[in-house]
Amino acid sequence: MHDPETEPKADGDAALIKIGDFARRAGTNLRTLRYYEELGLVLPAARSAGGLRYYRAAELDRMAMIAGLQRLGLELVQIRGLLATREPGASREESMARVRHALSEQGELIDQRLAELTAQRRRVDEALAKLGECDACSHHPAVGNNFCHPCQLDGRPLPADLSALF
């Protein structure tokens, strides 16, 4: 019935792991974890008498969420706000609502970024297609011919992105 992986230890916590192991499993390093502790973003569950940090393995999910939100452009202090621990006096309903709010906010951020990236991807493809047409031409886009704007071949200009590369 009991999974040894989640076997509680001492005061009901799941197994605690040291900072090096935690860092490796979170795909980060010691400095980052100490900085997150300084910010109050990810705290070790305990410290040994000698000062060693001991982390809950469950906090690895928190680390993954932080990394995801960071890639979306959020600052660590903002992330700390989104992942705020439950308010002391909050009801179950309030807590659930806060979590739901944080998740839908993250969903919206992802959607925005997806839209940006999709447009960017399309522009790159258009630029590559236009570059293919240039194979049939002998001009070299440069400042001198205003980056082939307009194109001597079909009158249509090079995409703006392309002129940035010359």
Partner DNA sequence: TTGCTCCTCACGTCACGTGAGGTGGC
| Contact with its own copies (CB under 8 A) among 29, 48, 118, 152 | 118
Q: Please, what is the end-to-end C-alpha distance for the chain in angstroms?
A: 66
Question: Nearer Cβ to DNA, position 80 or 98?
Answer: 80
Residue 115 binds which of DNA, its own copies, none (CB < 5-8 A, kind-dependent): none
* Collapsed DSSP state (helix, strand, coil) of residue 74: coil
In the chain, the amino acid numbered 70 is Q
Interface with DNA includes 53 (CB under 7 A)?
A: yes
Residues 41-100 that bind its own copies (CB under 8 A): 56, 58-59, 61-62, 64-65, 68, 71, 73, 83, 85-86, 92, 95-96, 98-100
129 binds, among its own copies, DNA, none (CB under 5 to 8 A by kind): none
Helix H segments across the chain?
Answer: 19-26, 30-39, 59-71, 76-82, 92-133, 160-163
d(CA 136, CA 143): 20
Q: Which of 103, 152, 154, 156 touches its own copies (CB under 8 A)?
A: 103
Residue with tokens 């308010």: 87
Per-residue interface string for the shown chain with its own copies, residues 130-149, x marking contact by CB under 8 A: -x--xx--x-x-xxx-xx-x
Place of tokens 């040994």: 48
